Chains A and B, each alone.
Chain A
């Protein structure tokens, strides 16, 4: 494959939530910016832009990862699933409903990333313990909830009990 020139916008095609979408990107363009600015998929949030906060997490070929640490050109030809794809028919998933029920979000900035991590993680670990779940959540910063509501929501949908009291 020829070298992609820094000064040229190159075509990038991804399968975004099941639909083939094409945009253009300089090699340095982050996948987070490509999703938002080039494809108009604003559900994915951009927080720290250096891999710490987890807000921009999506699934690439099914695997949860940070779009601020991925170049758009690296995603070419890949399947990318974002929060917009979780509930394609306008009805929330069971986990999203549980997030609402348990006040698992306040400002909501971290929520899209956390939902995308969970959608991958719960396929691999369908019934995590609270400790395992909190370990996975350590890859996301939420400054509103203290994580209690998030843990309750997940434990609710997985049918596990939690030591976090309802408030």
Chain B
């Protein structure tokens, strides 16, 4: 399986990349790590006329915390983020979820922003971004804008990002005091896409559960404090509202069972580690 032919641009600056995307329109695609896009090119599921490679742009290698956010630039790989020694204190949910993203070999090249741009409904990084109410920083030759994670994802492989925009960076809020976080997923094999993944955030007032792999995008719900049967009822209602389908990996009923069971487990874990 080989990609169909395309022109290739390794821009010297973000401005050059954005100008090329503005000219290329819908026929241009952005590549950074390529761990999602390259398989689609190889299988010819996408056939762009122009590939714009962001992977060597130093401007996009920013990885720092400031103003209450951890900001991850478009060229930062998943491995580089995992290797950040302060990550577990800064964004504990990401530290828990990143080992579930693909494999050692794909994390070495795959980028954090690339996973967000790809918008697979079962992917872990978009799920964390939604669970934590992160932001996606978009930039085109026209303008810059920051989009809240919950309004960024529209459906499978579909986002509000326009063809001439790149994700310049994504932002995760830094750990809140008195807040607990937990992540778990169920997949056929480790490294596979999740059948269901759950991320919970619990502080003194609110429980928040985000679920991936069931609805057409990562989806979160907030509750005030719930206990016992009230929590079971709330999780059951959420599981039905997510509206998962049967597919070759699991039935919709099994997915609801996972939301109820794994959802409860991550909520309890998040509560216990506040």
**Co-complex (A, B):** yes
**B10 contacts A73, CB within 8 Å?**
yes
Is A82 among interface residues, defined by CB-CB distance under 8 A?
no
Give Cα A29 to B191, complex, Å: 27
Is B53 among interface residues, defined by CB-CB distance under 8 A?
yes
**A138 contacts B8, CB within 8 Å?**
no
Contact partner of B109 (CB less than 8 A), chosen from A26, A49, A66, is A66
Is B43 among interface residues, defined by CB-CB distance under 8 A?
yes
Is B189 among interface residues, defined by CB-CB distance under 8 A?
yes
**B5 contacts A26, CB within 8 Å?**
yes
Stretch at the interface among B32-40, B135-143, B162-170: B32-40
**B5 contacts A7, CB within 8 Å?**
yes
Shortest C-beta distance, B82 to chain A (Å), equals 11
Shortest C-beta distance, B100 to chain A (Å), equals 10
Give Cα A64 to B103, complex, Å: 11
**B103 contacts A139, CB within 8 Å?**
yes
Contact partner of B7 (CB less than 8 A), chosen from A5, A30, A140, is A5
**B105 contacts A27, CB within 8 Å?**
no
Shortest C-beta distance, A140 to chain B (Å), equals 8
**B6 contacts A28, CB within 8 Å?**
yes
**B109 contacts A70, CB within 8 Å?**
yes
**A65 contacts B108, CB within 8 Å?**
yes
Give Cα A4 to B50, complex, Å: 9
Q: Identify which of residues 228-245 in chain B touch chain A, using a CB-to-CB cut-off of 8 Å.
A: none
Is A117 among interface residues, defined by CB-CB distance under 8 A?
yes
**A68 contacts B42, CB within 8 Å?**
yes
Q: Identify which of residues 26-83 in chain B touch chain A, using a CB-to-CB cut-off of 8 Å.
A: 34-35, 38-39, 41-43, 49-51, 53, 55, 79
Task: Contacts A135-B190, A139-B104 given; indicate if A28 touches B5 (C-beta within 8 A).
Answer: yes
**B191 contacts A139, CB within 8 Å?**
yes
Q: Which residues of A have CB within 8 Å of B3?
A: 28, 30
**B1 contacts A57, CB within 8 Å?**
no
Is B9 among interface residues, defined by CB-CB distance under 8 A?
yes
Give Cα A28 to B105, complex, Å: 22
Q: Which residues of B have CB within 8 Å of A63?
A: 79, 108-109
Give Cα A27 to B8, complex, Å: 6
Is A6 among interface residues, defined by CB-CB distance under 8 A?
yes
Is A69 among interface residues, defined by CB-CB distance under 8 A?
yes
Give Cα A120 to B79, complex, Å: 13
Contact partner of A1 (CB less than 8 A), chosen from B9, B42, B102, is B9
**B1 contacts A49, CB within 8 Å?**
yes
Is A33 among interface residues, defined by CB-CB distance under 8 A?
yes
Give Cα A51 to B128, complex, Å: 24
Q: Identify which of residues 1-60 in chain A touch chain B, using a CB-to-CB cut-off of 8 Å.
A: 1, 3-7, 26-30, 33, 49-51, 54, 57
Is B206 among interface residues, defined by CB-CB distance under 8 A?
no
**B109 contacts A65, CB within 8 Å?**
yes
Is B4 among interface residues, defined by CB-CB distance under 8 A?
yes
Give Cα A158 to B79, complex, Å: 23
Task: Contacts A27-B51, A138-B189, A139-B104 given; indicate if A73 touches B38 (C-beta within 8 A).
Answer: no
Shortest C-beta distance, B59 to chain A (Å), equals 15
What are 17 of the A-B contact pairs (CB < 8 Å)?
A: A4-B7, A4-B8, A4-B10, A6-B5, A27-B5, A27-B6, A27-B8, A30-B42, A50-B38, A54-B105, A64-B105, A64-B108, A69-B42, A71-B38, A117-B104, A139-B103, A139-B105
Residues of B within 8 A of A (CB): 1-12, 20, 34-35, 38-39, 41-43, 49-51, 53, 55, 79, 99, 102-106, 108-109, 189-191
Residues of A within 8 A of B (CB): 1, 3-7, 26-30, 33, 49-51, 54, 57, 63-66, 68-71, 73-74, 117, 120-121, 135-136, 138-140
A-B residue pairs, 3 tightest by C-beta: A139-B103, A27-B8, A69-B38
Question: A49-B1, A50-B42, A64-B105 given. 4 additional CB < 8 A pairs?
Answer: A3-B20, A28-B6, A30-B2, A65-B108
